[in-house]
């Protein structure tokens, strides 16, 4: 799986997880499932950001054609981190949580649109299949390693 394919899969997963949390708006109190969904979203976003910032973006910054797009993406990540920090202090059934979640969805959708519409096509054109596969392998390793750590910490 190439880096682009893996990141696109992640994008879809993030939107799906946000959708699950948006459904908590109708509930009178936050249940364990809502908290679990937020924790899954939080972990998924942080891992996705880490993979992009440690593997994909450094390769894109080397290329003049993608340098500005990459710098903008770093800034978008800071906004997402800020919104996640705000959300972590709230309860999923609160109106304020849902408003902030809506901001997060908008920020992520804009980010996805820019990456999938501009950055990924340029990466596919400029990096070549071999390099995208190598980056994809690094990202899969990071994901697998992260899951092992998460499972271990839950047991411990």
What's the pLDDT tens digit per position in 71-122?
999 999 999 999 999 999 998 878 899 999 999 999 999 999 999 999 999 9
Per-residue pLDDT at 91: 86
> Around 67, how many Cα atoms within 13 Å sit in the side-chain half-sphere?
4
pTM of structure: 0.89
Per-residue pLDDT at 24: 73
All domains of the chain, ordered by start, with CATH?
3-155 (1.20.120.520)
Burial of 136 (0-12, 13-18, 19+ CB in 10 A): buried
* pLDDT tens per residue, range 141-155: 999 998 766 666 655
Joined together, the tokens standing for residue 149 give 């750590």
Kindly report the number of other CB atoms within 10 A of residue 99's CB atom.
Answer: 12
- Which ranges in the chain belong to alpha helices (H)? 3-22, 32-51, 57-61, 64-87, 95-114, 120-155
Per-residue pLDDT at 27: 56
* pLDDT tens per residue, range 9-45: 999 999 999 998 888 766 556 677 888 999 999 999 9
Q: What mean pLDDT value characterizes the chain?
A: 91
DSSP 117: I
Per-residue pLDDT at 154: 55
Q: What mean pLDDT comes out for the span 128-148?
A: 93
Per-residue pLDDT at 100: 96
């Amino acid at each position: 799986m190439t880096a682009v394919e893996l990141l696109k899969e992640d994008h879809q997963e993030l939107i799906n997880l946000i959708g699950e949390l948006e459904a908590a708006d109708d509930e009178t109190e936050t249940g364990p499932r809502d908290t679990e969904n937020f924790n899954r979203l939080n972990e998924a976003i942080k891992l996705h950001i880490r993979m992009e910032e440690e593997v994909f973006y450094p390769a894109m910054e080397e290329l003049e054609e993608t340098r500005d797009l990459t710098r903008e993406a770093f800034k978008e990540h800071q906004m997402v981190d800020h919104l996640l920090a705000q959300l972590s202090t709230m309860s999923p059934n609160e109106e304020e949580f849902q408003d902030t979640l809506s901001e997060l969805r908008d920020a992520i959708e804009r980010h996805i649109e820019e990456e999938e519409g501009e950055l990924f096509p340029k990466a596919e054109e400029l990096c070549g299949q071999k390099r995208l596969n190598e980056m994809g392998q690094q990202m899969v390793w990071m994901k697998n390693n992260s899951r092992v750590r998460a499972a271990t910490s839950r047991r411990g």
